[in-house]
Amino acid sequence: MASRESPKTTEPSSTELPFWRRKTLAEMSDAEWESLCDGCGQCCKVKLENASTGEVVDTDVACRLLDLQTCRCVDYPNRQKQVPGCLRLTPQLVKSLYWLPETCGYRRVQAGKDLPEWHHLRCGDREAVHREGISVRGTVFSESDFEDLDQVLADWYGFQGPY
């Protein structure tokens, strides 16, 4: 009697999958969680929310702590002390932040999707996000460039009131 071998699969085993494919956001270590950030700077744009509709609109102004060249926070450990409105992303918060870009590693993993090929965890190159045009490099101003940001936002976006 001949033995029957199970058919070979091309799917990698769960131990061969990268951590973002085998773990939920809540299961990740701090280092794994932090590495999901692709460095695009999109979440560091000043956002305006319509109080009536809840619609959130990006501006072309970025947080004063964002390095406009690297698209990384210049004081990440202390950012919430320096910028009280700065959000600390958590797995629960990622579920509710519909304004995170579709390319965001946190959002993609939350949705069960793989990271894009240009993500540094896949390609090994932190500059790929910039070459792909995903980052805010060269597209935003720093809020520290403006003496009266509320007035600038009112002029540019017709926004009235504190952001």
pLDDT digits (tens, 9 = 90+) for 127-155: 999 999 999 999 999 999 988 877 777 77
> pLDDT digit string (tens) for 3-43?
445 444 455 555 689 999 999 999 999 999 999 999 999 99
| Domain membership flag for residue 52 | yes
List of residues 6+ apart from 52 with CB closer than 8 A: none
Tokens of 39: 């460095």
Instruction: Return the pLDDT at 82.
Output: 94
23: in domain = no
The residue type at 39: G
Range of the domain at 104: 32-157
Please report whether residue 72 resides in a domain. yes
Please list the helix, strand and coil fractions of the chain in percent, rounded to the nearest 5, in that order: 35, 10, 55
Radius of gyration (C-alpha) of the chain in whole angstroms: 20
Q: Is residue 106 part of a domain?
A: yes
Q: Is residue 1 part of a domain?
A: no
Q: Is position 2 within any domain?
A: no
The reply to whether 4 falls in a domain is no
* Residue 86 forms part of a structural domain: yes
* Among 87, 124, 81, 123, residue whose Cα is nearest residue 106: 87
Number of domains in the chain: 1
Reference 152, options 48, 81, 40, 41; nearest CA is 48
Q: What is the pTM of this model?
A: 0.82
